[in-house]
A = this chain, B = another copy of it.
Amino acid sequence: MSSPAGLRPTSMTKTYTGASMSLDGYISGPDESGFDLLFDWYNNGDVVIETAREDLTMRCSPQSAAYFREVMDTAGAFVVGRHLFDITNGWEGRHPIDIPVVVVTHEPPTDWQPKHRDHRFEFVTEGVEAAVARARVLAGDKAVVVNGGQMARQALEAGLIDELWVDLVPVLLGGGRPLFDHVKGPVTLDGPLSVVEGDRVTHLRYTVRR
């Protein structure tokens, strides 16, 4: 769980990862199913949360809205994998939380034509540690958020993750994509630091013990 010397910056910028996860540990069900169940809490309440995307407005319970606003206020830059970039077409150049996005890829796209041309996306080819280091610069004194199961696992195994934010959803999906696909364990956590009960979700924050 340690990273090569010299790669960790000395700033206090924290690095988080998290996801909506079923009680049996999946962030998507078999054949990319189950998203309606995992993200029900995005839209099962009355509190409107506008995002940077006109086509995406959330309607949460008051508890989940407060939690999600904290996520939005905390996050300074994202690190995502190429898979997530590709299936969203790079969010058309504007992530719903409008902060810089660092994409880890072996080969940056040459033909990406996002709708939003004034995007703040960067591509890093030297792996997740280099991507997190770059994201820390972009995030300033805010947090780096690593998204996507494979990136999260790699960052965790490289000792780069300070906290896990898990939105635990009361469903068993029975298969699919795990949040941490066979991470080299055991990884001891501390917490939960906080437990927020929304409607059809329990928001849990843990720290990673080093």
A residues at B contact (CB < 8 Å)? 22-25, 29-30, 33-34, 37, 156, 164, 166, 168, 170-175, 178-180, 182-192, 195, 197, 202, 204, 206
Contact among B172, B190, B195 with A185 in the assembled complex (CB-CB below 8 Å): B172
Instruction: Select one of B172, B178, B202 contacting A195, CB under 8 A.
Output: B202
On whether the beta carbons of A172 and B197 are closer than 8 Å, the reply is no
Known contacts A195-B195, A195-B202, A202-B195: A23-B166 contact under CB 8 Å = yes
Q: Which residues of B contact A188 (CB under 8 A)?
A: 37, 170-171
Contact call B189/A171, Cβ cutoff below 8 A:
yes
9 A–B contacts from the bound complex (CB under 8 Å): A25-B178, A29-B185, A33-B186, A171-B185, A171-B188, A172-B186, A174-B183, A174-B186, A202-B204
Q: A37-B186, A172-B189, A174-B183 are in contact. List 18 more A-B contacts (CB 8 A).
A: A23-B25, A23-B164, A23-B166, A23-B189, A24-B25, A24-B179, A24-B180, A34-B186, A37-B188, A170-B191, A171-B189, A173-B185, A173-B186, A174-B182, A174-B184, A174-B185, A192-B197, A192-B202
Question: Smallest distance from the beta carbon of A26 to chain B beta carbons, Å?
Answer: 8
Interface centre among A23, A170, A172 (most CB of B within 10 A): A172
Chain B residues positioned under 8 Å from A179 (CB to CB) = 24
B170 in contact with A189 (CB, 8 Å): yes
